[in-house]
Structure 1
C-alpha cells in the first residue's frame, strides 16, 4: 500500500483527469473488456454526481477495431493500425455513450493530436471546449486522433496527452491506469525482487533514465510504457497536479484512490509551479528537430541575467521552422536549456545569426524584432536553472 493520503487529493479533487490505457481496457485476447468499461463509467459517473469534473482520456480504439474486424495479428503496420482505429473509435464511443446514459450523462468526444498541443490557439480553444462540456455536465472523452497521428501510434503518448489536459484544465489530480501496480525499482516482469516505489517526491530526467532505460519496452497491447507515464507525471506535478500511477485491473482501485489508501505510486505536486503558458512552452511538442544553438555568452545571459536571446548569440540553426514556431534552445555542448517561440524563420535566423540586432534590417530588408526569441516567449528547464 502507498502511504495513507488524508484527505485524499483524488477524493477532494474538483477536476480530475483519468487516463485508461489499452492494457486496462482489453482482455487476454486483446478484445475490449466490457466489464472494465462499465467499471470506468460507473466510477466516473459517481464522481461527477459528487461534484467532481472528470475528464476521461481513453485508449482502446485500435483494440475495438481489432475485435470488430477479427484481426489477431499483432505485427501490424502503422496504416493497418490507423484503419483499425478508424473502425474502432466509433464503436468505443458508442459503448461509452450507452454506459454513461444509464447514469444520465451525455458524452462528448474530442480527438486530439500533438499539433493541437503545439499550436497555442488550438491549445486554448480545446480548453474552452472542455470547459463548456463540463459546464453542461457532459463527460469529455479524449483520445489521440490515431487515424492521422503516426508517431503517437508508434510510441503511445496518451499519457502525455492526459498530462497536458491536466495542465490545461488546472486539474487537481491525474490518475494514470495501467496493467502494473505503479513504478518499480526494476522491471517486475524480468526482475522478481523488484520493489514498488510508493512515493516519488520529484521526477527528474536522471530518475527517468535510471528507472526506464530507453531500451525498455511497454505492454504488448498498448504502445506506451512506464517511460511515458513518468514523463507525464513530471509535467503534471510541475504544474501543481497530484498524480497516481496504479493498476486498473486491481479490483476497487479507483475507490481506493478516492479513499487515499491504494496500491500504486503517488507523485505529490511541486511546491512551486509555473504558469500554464510557461508549461506549454516547456512541454509543447517540438515537431522534428528544431534547434537554435547558442554560444556561451548567450547561455550566460539566459541563465543568469534572464535576457532575451539575440541573433548575435546564435551559433547555428538546426531544422526548418517558421516565425511563431516552438524550438529547442541548446548550448554549444548539446545540452537542452529550454524552449522558446521564435520571431524569425529558420532561413532568416540562419542569415542573421552572429550579427548585431542593429544589422538585421540591412540583412533582411526589415527588422520587425530585435530579439530572435523574446524573454516573455522563452522558458528554461528547472534542472538547468537549479544547477547554474
Structure 2
C-alpha cells in the first residue's frame, strides 16, 4: 500500500507555497540566492515529470526597500503602494531565476473577489492550466495592490489551499521557517513534533502562533490552510524551506495532512463553502439544522425562521442556526423578496411554483463534517 508521503513524492501536479521569510534576507529585502535555490529544487521536480504552481508571498516586503520603508507598513494605502512596487520586483526575480533553465514564468494575481465569483474563479483556473500546458510556471500571489481588508484571503496559506483545490492538485507543499508542526513553539523545552494529522483530533492540544516580522501568516494559518486543502481532497506536506530538496524529493520531512475520501467535498461545494461571496443569510430552526447537518437533505421553507440581505435566485447564502452558529452555505432558489413570504410554511401552504426546495441538497454544503 502506497503511503501518503510516497503519494506526495510522486504527485504529478503540485502547488508549492512560499512564505515571505523564505524569500528575504535579514533586512527584509528579496534574496536572489534564496530564490535560486528554491528554483533549483523546483526544476529538479519538474524534470521528474511534475507540474508545479508556485504561490509566492513577498510583494509587500519586496516593495519596502525601493520605497525606503524600514518597517512593514500598517495602513492599507501604504501596503498597497508597497505591493504595487514589490509585485514588479518579485516577478522579475522569479523570472530571472527560472530563466537560468530557459523557463518562462507567468504572474497570476488574485483577490478574494476573483475566487468568490464562480466565473472569475474558472477563468483563473483556465489561465493557470494553460500556463502549465505551455511549459511556463505560474507564480500566484494575492493582488495586494487592489485587495481591501474586507476582500482579502487573509494570507497566502489560505490562497494556496484554494488554488490547490481549484486546479485539482495532487499535493500542496507549505514551506516556511519551521521544519514541522509541533504541539507548541518548537523553541520551548518539551515541544513535541507531530509527523502526521489524520483528523482534527490530532490537533486538540496544538498551540499554533501567528506570523513573523515580515509575513502575515503563522503556524495557525498554515494548519488551517492544510486542513482546508485536505477537505478538498488535496494532501499536504508542511515543512521548512530549508528542507525543500527533501520535500520535493522523497517527502520524508515535515508533517503530512491526510485527506478523508469519505468526507471530501466536490469542487462546487468546496467553492461555495470556502471561496464564494455570500450575498445573504438564512436563519434556521433547530429541526432544520439537524436535517441539514445529517447531509443529503434539501432545505425547505418550513425550517427557515428569517432572512437577511438582498439576494437573488442562484446566489450563495450563509446558513445559520438558532444561536447564529455557522451551519453551511448553499445556492438559494428564490429571490429574497419572494422567500420572505414563504418562511415557516409547509409545502401545501405554498403556491405551486414555490414548492421546490429553497436550497437543494446538491447545492448545499455544511460545516458539520470538516476535518
TM norm structure 1: 0.86
Aligned to 1:372: 358
Change (3 A) 1:24 1:321: farther
SS at match of 1:86: helix
Q: Give the unaligned 5+ runs of structure 1.
A: none
Change (3 A) 1:367 1:342: same
Aligned to 1:201: 198
Alignment of 1:146-157 (within 5 A): 146-151=144-149, 156-157=154-155
Aligned to 2:275: 284
- State how far apart, in whole Å, the 2-side matches of 1:340 and 1:296 are: 18
Aligned to 1:24: 22
- State how far apart, in whole Å, the 1-side matches of 2:221 and 2:347 are: 40
Change (3 A) 1:228 1:321: farther
Of 82-91 and 222-231, the range deviating more from structure 2? 222-231
Change (3 A) 1:77 1:175: same
Contact in 1 for aligned 2:112/2:151 (Cα 8 Å): no
Aligned to 2:306: 316
Change (3 A) 1:74 1:90: closer
Contact in 1 for aligned 2:314/2:331 (Cα 8 Å): yes
Deviation for aligned residue 1:283: 1.9
Aligned to 1:89: 87
Match of 2:320 among 327, 330, 334: 330
SS at match of 1:171: coil
Contact in 2 for aligned 1:26/1:33 (Cα 8 Å): yes
- State how far apart, in whole Å, the 2-side matches of 1:326 and 1:207 are: 32
Alignment of 1:76-225 (within 5 A): 76-151=74-149, 156-188=154-186, 191-202=188-199, 204=200, 210-212=205-207, 216-225=209-218
Deviation for aligned residue 1:162: 0.7
SS at match of 1:116: helix
Change (3 A) 1:359 1:84: farther
Match of 1:295 among 285, 293, 300: 285
Aligned to 1:241: 234
Deviation for aligned residue 1:168: 1.6
Of 49-58 and 114-123, the range deviating more from structure 2? 114-123
Deviation for aligned residue 1:239: 2.7
Contact in 2 for aligned 1:110/1:143 (Cα 8 Å): yes
Alignment of 1:333-344 (within 5 A): 333-344=323-334
- State how far apart, in whole Å, the 2-side matches of 1:153 and 1:179 are: 27
Change (3 A) 1:61 1:305: closer
Deviation for aligned residue 1:5: 5.9
Change (3 A) 1:284 1:208: farther
Matched length: 369
- State how far apart, in whole Å, the 2-side matches of 1:226 and 1:152 are: 22
Deviations 1:5-26 (A, max 9, x none): 6863333111000000111111
Alignment of 1:21-100 (within 5 A): 21-100=19-98
SS at match of 1:8: helix
Q: Is the counterpart of residue 275 in structure 1 residue 266 in structure 2?
A: yes
- State how far apart, in whole Å, the 1-side matches of 2:128 and 2:59 are: 21
Contact in 1 for aligned 2:5/2:256 (Cα 8 Å): no
- State how far apart, in whole Å, the 2-side matches of 1:209 and 1:328 are: 27
Deviation for aligned residue 1:372: 2.1
SS at match of 2:194: coil
- State how far apart, in whole Å, the 1-side matches of 2:217 and 2:369 are: 25
TM norm structure 2: 0.89
Change (3 A) 1:193 1:302: same
- State how far apart, in whole Å, the 2-side matches of 1:256 and 1:305 are: 40
- State how far apart, in whole Å, the 2-side matches of 1:220 and 1:358 are: 61
Contact in 1 for aligned 2:56/2:141 (Cα 8 Å): yes
